[in-house]
Amino acid sequence: MPFACKNFRATFLFMLISFGLLTYQPMNPVKAYGEKEILLINLGIPALKAAYKADRQGKPILKSVIQALFGGYIMYQGFKIAPRIETEPAWRAWQAKLMVNFGASLAESAGGRFVFRMDMGPVWLIADQGKIRFKPGLNAVVAPIIHFAEGSRLNWKNTLKYGTFAFERSSRRDGTLNKSGALAYSNANTFTTNKNGNHAGHELIHTFQYRRAAIDWPNIGDLLPEAKKQIGDGWVDDTNWSAGWGLQCAWADMMGKSKDFDIPMEKEAYYLERKYLKPY
Ligand SMILES: [Zn+2]
């Protein structure tokens, strides 16, 4: 079996297992999202992936798993800061972003050499063996174009504060921003709020999910080896978040659930807000 084909099957299987674990609720279908799911997504899945990668490459499995767990733990600490970030100074938002990106880099480097990768708006900063490079991300370049096309304006103050493209648009009389009734919304690592930046904390969680998706979900290059060749080395294939979100929305449609409240990505954001919005 060619390597690409084996890789595709493994990726697909991994994706199904992750999704099954996240949506499986045997006793109570309306059970709230909890600490178990948080540990699974931040530590469990990165550890599983690290073990698989280390095994395939003949590297020590336990060492890789410990590194992934440690990375996942740091990532989670970054996520915890996001819910109440609207009233915090910019350095705190950058601290959260650095923690998520450092933790994710540690976890995804398990079983190989350490490479630090951080998304910063449309580009990714990649530090590998002392060399720093910037590469555009496929999804990260397209997302701001969509926000501009919708008539949103870049909010420079929030962009600098959150370290990612933050847009604003005028709210309608009922406080919503668009036809679908959203008070704020995100796309990959960009988000749009009203002029006051309300709900930026919730949307920042979604942008952190975009970074973590590089571990949780396959990208288009994993699924289509031909696309991987076309994308080449000049771009970061950051389509993982779209793959994960698209799959979760398809699941919601099939099960008659709400894409805005019932999918795991939203449940996680609301859970973190409920738990960490108040100062601790
Ligand atoms: Zn949301």
pLDDT tens readout for residues 137-187? 999 999 999 999 988 999 999 999 999 999 999 877 777 877 777 889 999
* Centroid of ligand 1 to alpha carbon of 107 (angstroms): 25
* Centroid of ligand 1 to alpha carbon of 184 (angstroms): 8
* Centroid of ligand 1 to alpha carbon of 57 (angstroms): 37
Give buried/exposed letters for 241-254 (b at 16+ CB in 10 A, else e).
Answer: bbbbbebbeebbee
* Centroid of ligand 1 to alpha carbon of 112 (angstroms): 34
Helix or strand (DSSP H, E) at 118: strand 115-120
Place of tokens 């960009």: 190
* Centroid of ligand 1 to alpha carbon of 14 (angstroms): 25
Write out pLDDT tens, residues 7-19.
556 666 666 666 6
* Centroid of ligand 1 to alpha carbon of 58 (angstroms): 40
* Centroid of ligand 1 to alpha carbon of 247 (angstroms): 16
pLDDT value for 28: 47
* Centroid of ligand 1 to alpha carbon of 266 (angstroms): 5
Task: Tell me which DSSP letter residue 74 carries.
Answer: H
* Centroid of ligand 1 to alpha carbon of 26 (angstroms): 25
* Centroid of ligand 1 to alpha carbon of 19 (angstroms): 18
Point out the residues of the chain with pLDDT beneath 50.
Answer: 1-5, 26-30, 280
The pTM score is: 0.88
pLDDT value for 182: 80
Q: Is the Cβ–Cβ distance between 225 and 13 less than 8 Å? A: no
Give CA separation, 196 vs 170, 171, 225, in Å: 10, 10, 44
Distance CA 68, CA 131 (A): 23
* Centroid of ligand 1 to alpha carbon of 80 (angstroms): 15
* Centroid of ligand 1 to alpha carbon of 270 (angstroms): 7
* Centroid of ligand 1 to alpha carbon of 224 (angstroms): 29
* Centroid of ligand 1 to alpha carbon of 5 (angstroms): 35
* Centroid of ligand 1 to alpha carbon of 194 (angstroms): 15
